[in-house]
Amino acid sequence: MLAYIIRKILFSIIILFVASFVIFYLVSLSGDPLQELALNPRVSQEDIERLAATYGLDQPVYVQYGIWIRDILLYGDFGLSFKQNTDVNSIIAARIWPTVLLMGSSLIFTLAIAIPFGIYSAIKKYSLIDNIGTFLSFVGFAMPVFFLGLILQLVFAVYLTEWLGVRVFYVSGMSSRGGGVIDLLQHLFLPMVTLSVVSIATFTRFQRSAMLDVLSAEYLRTARAKGLSERTVYLKHALRNALIPTITLIALSAVSLIAGAVITETVFSWPGLGFLLIDSLYKGDYNVARALLLITAVLTVLFNLLADIAYSIVDPRVSYD
């Protein structure tokens, strides 16, 4: 197992270097980060040239990439935001907690609903509840995230407020004047549900399929023949093996949640990394965009590795030697 992890890490490092160059190059094609300063009549051409020389912007792309990746590896420095005139690290640091809160609550909400329902649907195959769950899963798959977010805003933040005469949920931001836990939950609920719907549909179908495969296994018939209760058979023997594909999905869904958070945070103006990425690309804040895309690539590789390790923990029969 250790040898496999070392090989996987070495291979991942190569992938990340390739990905980092592709990210740097493609973002560089978007334009000159000093273009806006060049249009400012109070900034002289000498100042522009001095800034370009200071940050290596007058060098070829591969030289700029070398400076950028060197600063990241040696100093953990993602550079300077020319739009906000501050370092990228501090900009990103301020947005990490909102995204972690949204993604973490969404994942917990997803697992709390999808796994029990997927197990129940497999045990009660083709029942009314299973058929309803199958229908809702397909609806969840087909529902665009931005459209669902707008519908939830309209129904729960506009119509519900008009009906009750008091605001229950908010449609933008993370907090209102005064703040507090209740206020945070009022802002969090709608984007959390929006981000969770597709994941719930995916997890439910995966868990149901995995559980159905396990329920027909020989060792479950042996367990029943030994006189074990159905509860023990399902929870102790069947669920342990049925969770293996779900664990992979959990690890990989963390990255898909980031992609979904880009849209969800934009719709709800949630001040996280996803909203920051869209905002930085729109405003031409290229160093911030590069940093966020690289972080996403690192997380993708990391969660793939964690999924492989989780395999062997859940099922000792899985070996990579």
Q: Which sequence spans correspond to the domains of the chain? A: 2-88, 95-314
Residue 319 confidence (pLDDT): 59
Residue 22 confidence (pLDDT): 93
Extract the residue ranges of the chain whose pLDDT is less than 50. none
Coil, strand or helix: which one is 320?
Answer: coil
Q: How far is CA 42 from the centre of its chain?
A: 42
Do 34 and 51 meet the contact criterion of CB atoms below 8 Å apart? yes
Residue 209 confidence (pLDDT): 86
Residue 36 confidence (pLDDT): 66
User: What topology does CATH give the domain 95-314?
Assistant: MetI-like fold (1.10.3720)
Residue 315 confidence (pLDDT): 59
> DSSP assignment of 57-103, as one string?
TTS-HHHHHHHHHHHHHHH----EETTTTEEHHHHHHHHHHHHHHHH
Residue 84 confidence (pLDDT): 81
Query: Taking the complete model, does pTM exceed 0.95, yes or no?
Result: no
Q: What residue type is 113 in one-letter code? A: I
Residue 57 confidence (pLDDT): 75
Do 267 and 149 meet the contact criterion of CB atoms below 8 Å apart? yes
Residue 208 confidence (pLDDT): 87
- At 29-79, the pLDDT tens digits run 877 667 666 666 676 777 777 777 777 777 888 888 998 999 899 988 898
Residue 133 confidence (pLDDT): 86
Provide the terminal-to-terminal Cα distance of the chain, rounded to the nearest Å: 6
Q: How far apart are CA 69 and CA 77, in angstroms?
A: 9
